[in-house]
Amino acid sequence: MAVLFGKLGIESVSDLFYYLPRRYEDRSRISHIKDLKPGEEQAIVGKVLKTNTVTARTGTGIFEVLLEDPTGKVQAVWYNMPFLKKVFSAGRTVLLYGRVELYNRLQITHPVYEILKDEDEKRSLEVGRIVPVYSLTRALSQRYMRRVVYNAVHAYLGQTRDTLPTYMRARKKLVDLKFAVENIHFPYSFENLQRAYKRLVFEEFFVLQVIMALKRQKHAGSGIAHELKGRLLDDFKELFTFELTGEQKKCISDIEKDMAGERPMYRLLQGDVGSGKTVVAMYAILLAVRNGYQTVMMAPTEILARQHYVTVSRTMMPLGVNIRLLVNGIDPKTKEKINDELKKGEIDIVIGTHSVFQEKIEFHDLGMIVIDEQHKFGVEQRKSLRRKNLKADTLVMTATPIPRSLALTVYGDMDISMLKEKPDGRRSVETYWAGEDHREAVYGFLKEEAKNGRQIFIVCPRVRKTEKSGLISAEGMFEHLKNHVFGDLRIGLVHGQMKSDDKNTVMRDFRDKKYDILVTTVMVEVGVDIPNATVMLVEHADRYGLAQLHQLRGRVGRGEHTSCCILMGDPGTEASRERLSTISGMDDGFQIAEKDLDLRGPGEFLGTRQSGLPELRFGNIIKDFSIMEEAREQAFNLVKEDPALQETRHAGIRANIVKRFRGKIDI
Q: How far apart are CA 238 and CA 243, in angstroms?
A: 9
266, 219 Cβ separation under 8 angstroms:
yes
Residue ranges of the chain that CATH labels 2.40.50.140: 29-128
Predicted pLDDT at 318: 83
Residue ranges of the chain that CATH labels 3.40.50.300: 232-260+275-398, 429-586
Predicted pLDDT at 564: 92
Q: Which CATH superfamily, name and number, covers 232-260+275-398?
A: P-loop containing nucleotide triphosphate hydrolases (3.40.50.300)
Q: How far apart are CA 304 and CA 352, in angstroms?
A: 9
Q: Minimal CA–CA distance to 203: which of 235, 165, 164?
A: 164
What CATH architecture applies to the domain 429-586? 3-Layer(aba) Sandwich (3.40)
Q: How far apart are CA 666 and CA 179, in angstroms?
A: 32
Predicted pLDDT at 378: 52
What CATH architecture applies to the domain 29-128? Beta Barrel (2.40)
Predicted pLDDT at 466: 74
Predicted pLDDT at 514: 94
Q: Minimal CA–CA distance to 272: which of 571, 83, 11, 553?
A: 553
- Beta-carbon neighbour count of residue 32 at 10 Å? 14
Q: Minimal CA–CA distance to 350: which of 304, 393, 312?
A: 312
Q: What is the mean pLDDT of each run of 10 residues along the chain (667 residues)?
A: 91 92 86 90 90 88 92 92 89 89 88 74 71 88 91 92 91 94 94 95 90 78 80 82 86 91 87 82 92 90 85 87 86 87 91 77 88 62 60 85 74 81 73 90 93 93 78 90 91 88 87 92 74 92 85 84 90 84 82 76 54 62 84 91 88 83 63
Q: How far apart are CA 69 and CA 32, in angstroms?
A: 7
Question: 473 — phi, psi (to 5°)?
Answer: -105, 155
Predicted pLDDT at 128: 74
Question: 2 — phi, psi (to 5°)?
Answer: -60, -35
